[in-house]
Structure 1
Amino acid sequence: MLIIPAENAVNWKRPPWITLGLMLTCLLVFLFYQGDDSRKLDQAVEQYLDAELQLLEAPAYEDYLERRIRLEGEESRVYELQQFQQLREQNERYWLAVNLLMDREFYQYLLQNQDLLWAPAERAYWQKWRVAIEQQYIHTLSAHQLGLTPADLSLYSLITYQFLHGGWGHIIGNLVFLFLLGFTVEKALGPGKFLLAYLVCGALSGLVFTAFSTGSHVPLVGASGSISGLMGMYVAIYGLQKIRFFYFLGVYFNYFRAPAIAILPVWLGKEIYDYWFAGATGIAYMAHAGGLLAGAGLVWLLGKSWLQVREEFFEPEEDEQDARFTTGYAQAMASLGRMEFELARRQFEALRAHYPERPILLEHLYQLAKLRPDLPHYRDRARELMTDALSRHQPEQMIAIWQEYLGKGESYQPLTAEDHNRVLFTSLKQHDFKSAEKAFERLRSTGDELLTTEACRLLMEEFEKRQMAPKARHYRQLLQAG
């Protein structure tokens, strides 16, 4: 049974660049770095068969498998033994050699027991050819160079193994899951933190795998531990919130909703069960379990500090926001149509709290406040709308609002000297000298001597530049009188 979260859709206006970059890196590594593995393996097989090492190793391999089955109770090896015996009977020399070369535990068994398996002459011959093949070909394969080998653990391999894969089926499956999970977690954490958390989950997953495979010479490759970390982070981010999951069982598939974190023990239990009872499948179940715990643990431990989810992550998608805005806006306009002004004001204020970037809402609130010019609310809205007009580079609208307020609200709630001074500067930039002089007179009436003096000097200098002598003389006299 397959269960994957399916709560979000990709917003291609803000692509998940790190997720796409990780996918591309894995693909390029597979094509251009690991692409040479098949040639090296073919050369190793060719030299192996030329030296006829299979005549020495094949009987030893059957005995090795039988001992593992009989003495160590590895029943899953029965099928492996039957397949190998069938290859010998059919004289499938190439695949016989591949099996013998690539079983790393068997190679260690040969190294440890060569004195018991062969006579001195056979042992010397085996050492001459087999060691050369190992050094020249097998050890240069990507999995042995950059894979994670528990018996020979290195720090760099905790990162590099995450970008290697064992075949087309392996990499395609991992890339699909990386995309499905990665774009959501990247949106939640932000690109930089997402990348670091992804790599840390992969490294911790590798350490858990190593702890359960101590002494193993079989290298671990693949991004599945890191992807399991994404699964753990995904459900930990949502916590008890109910989200949508996709499930696939046999030929049947559907969706269900459940608290996100409730699925974590299901995933974890499946990996642990398969580790103990699924047999030798070649799947690193404990790496998956380690990744799940690492991802969830990182969010729980650091979710309120370094790994905190970005606030905008839980906001509705743009299309959903538009739909909600349209519905709310229509309700507020309907209240206006029924002349329920107080209700409309509350509705517009609620909309503006959620959509502060929409200027139409402030304009409606200004018009509603204008119905009572005697209240301070009208002055506050006028100031807000003037500031908004300037921020959107609409100075003419800013001056028009100021002029309207002078006619309706100034006698009740006067504007401050700073408000008039701002209009004066804006008017001069627009070469609207009539409004600038009007703003100066209003500023002068506030009694703020410092701003008045500076504004007067500014007007004098501006009129002198334009060679408007009477005007310049008037403001110079005002300065001297002050």
Structure 2
Amino acid sequence: MLIIPAENSVNWKRPPWVTLGLMLACLLVFLFYQGGDRRVTEKAIEEYLDSGLQALEAPVYEDYLQRQISFEGNEERVYELQSFQQLRQEGGNVWLAYTLLSDREFYQYMLDNRDVLLAPAERRRWLEQRGDIQSRLMDRLSANQLGLVPADFSLYTLITYQFLHGGWGHIIGNLVFLFLLGFTVEKALGPGRFLLAYLLCGAISGVVFTAFSMGSHIPLVGASGSISGLMGMYVAIYGLQKIRFFYFVGVYFNYFRAPALAILPVWLGKEIYDYWFAGATGIAYMAHAGGLVAGAGMVWLLGKSWLQVNEEFFEPEEDEQDERFTTGYSQAMASLGRMEFDLARRQFEALREHYPDRTVLLEHLYQLAKLRPDLPEYRERARELMNESLSRRQPEQMIEIWQEYLGKGEGHQPLSAEDHNRVLFTSLKQHDLKAAEKAFERLRSTGNELLTTEACRLLVDEFEKLQMTPKARHYRQLLQGG
């Protein structure tokens, strides 16, 4: 059974660069760094077969598997024993050699018990030849160098193991899940915090794996623990909100909606169950469980500080916003068509709360307010639209709105001196001297001497510059109080 959250789609206008970068890093490591593993392994098999060590180790390996089955109750190795015995009977020397060389637990078993398992002459030959192949070739494999080995724990491998993979199937599966989960969590947390949280989840996942595999020489590789951390963060970010999940059972697949957190115990329970009952699958179930708990735990503990979700994360995508705006705008326009002006005003106001950058909404609200020029709302809408016109570099519209207000609303709710002064400045910049003089007269009537004096100086300078002497003289006299 497979359950994957599928609530969001990728916004390629703002690509998830860190997610894509992590995917590229894993792919490059696999192709170039791990690409040499096959050549090293083939060299090790060739030297191993030439040395004749297979005849020495094969009987010991059968006994080793039998002991694990009989005395340690490790039923998982029954299939391995049967496969190994079949290989010996059929003469599959290359695969036998690969099996013996790649089982690090068996190598450590022989190393620890060589005095009992081997005669003195065999022991010396084995230590010399097998030790040389192991140190010179097998230990150079990527998984043995940078994988997480519980018996040889190193802090740096808590990070490096996350970028190694065991084969094409392993890396493709992980990259698909990394993309499906990563772009959403990256959008929620932001690139920097997402990267740190991703690596930290992988590190905690590695620590959990080490705790449950103490003494093991089998290296852990892969981004699965980090990706499990993303799954935990994903559902913790949404909390009890119902989101969409994709599920796949056998050959059947579909979608369902459920509270995000309700899926966390399902995922966690599956990993713990598989750890105890799934048998030898090569999958680090407890690493996955550790990642899930780490991801969800970090969001819960640090969700109001370091891992706080970006405010815009829960906002609809642009396409969805456009669709919602179009629907709401159509409803408001329909109300206008039916002359239900109060309803239309409320609808436009509600739209403007969600879409404050849509100037057309303010224009409609201004036109509706103009129906009652005696009310203060008309003045406020006029001021808003004048300021909006200036910010959008539409000075002509700003002057036009001001002139219209003078004719309809000034007698009821006069504009302030600052409003007229702003129009005067704008008119001068537009070389609209008629509007500038009109704005000066309105400014002068407000009784604000400071602004009036400054405006008068500006008019004097402007008319002198244009060599309009009578006008300049008139305003100079006003300035001098004459």
TM-score, length of structure 1 as denominator length:
0.97
Q: 1:224: which partner in 2? A: 224
Alignment of 1:66-465 (within 5 A): 66-465=66-465
Of 410-419 and 310-319, more deviation after overlay is shown by: 310-319
For each residue in 1:363-399, what CA deviation from the matched residue of structure 2 results, as whole angstroms up to 9, or x when unmatched?
0000000011111100100111111112222111111
In 2: Cα distance, 1:462 partner to 1:120 partner: 111
Residue 97 (structure 1) shift: 1.3
Q: Secondary structure at the match of 2:254?
A: strand
Q: Secondary structure at the match of 1:247?
A: strand
Q: 1:28: which partner in 2? A: 28
For each residue in 1:163-215, what CA deviation from the matched residue of structure 2 results, as whole angstroms up to 9, or x when unmatched?
11110000000011111111111111121211111111111111111111111
User: Structure 2 stretches of 5 or more lacking a match?
Assistant: none
Q: 1:59: which partner in 2? A: 59
In 2: Cα distance, 1:94 partner to 1:471 partner: 106
Residue 75 (structure 1) shift: 0.3
Residue 235 (structure 1) shift: 0.9
Of 107-116 and 185-194, more deviation after overlay is shown by: 185-194
In 2: Cα distance, 1:376 partner to 1:219 partner: 75
Q: 2:475: which partner in 1? A: 475
- Matched AA of 1:277: F
Whether 2:14 is the aligned partner of 1:14: answer: yes
In 2: Cα distance, 1:59 partner to 1:354 partner: 75
In 1: Cα distance, 2:159 partner to 2:96 partner: 33
In 2: Cα distance, 1:170 partner to 1:156 partner: 22
Q: How high is the sequence identity, in percent, across the aligned residues?
A: 81
Q: Secondary structure at the match of 1:282?
A: coil
In 1: Cα distance, 2:366 partner to 2:418 partner: 20
In 1: Cα distance, 2:56 partner to 2:194 partner: 51
Distance 1:154 1:454, change over 3 A: farther
In 1: Cα distance, 2:82 partner to 2:436 partner: 97
- Matched AA of 2:28: L
User: Structure 1 stretches of 5 or more lacking a match?
Assistant: none
What root-mean-square deviation, in Å, do the aligned CA atoms of Structure 1 and Structure 2 show?
1.4
Residue 274 (structure 1) shift: 0.5
Q: Secondary structure at the match of 1:439?
A: helix
In 2: Cα distance, 1:184 partner to 1:49 partner: 51
Residue 86 (structure 1) shift: 1.4
For each residue in 1:253-284, what CA deviation from the matched residue of structure 2 results, as whole angstroms up to 9, or x when unmatched?
11111111111111000000000111111100
- Matched AA of 2:352: R
Residue 60 (structure 1) shift: 1.1
Residue 331 (structure 1) shift: 1.3
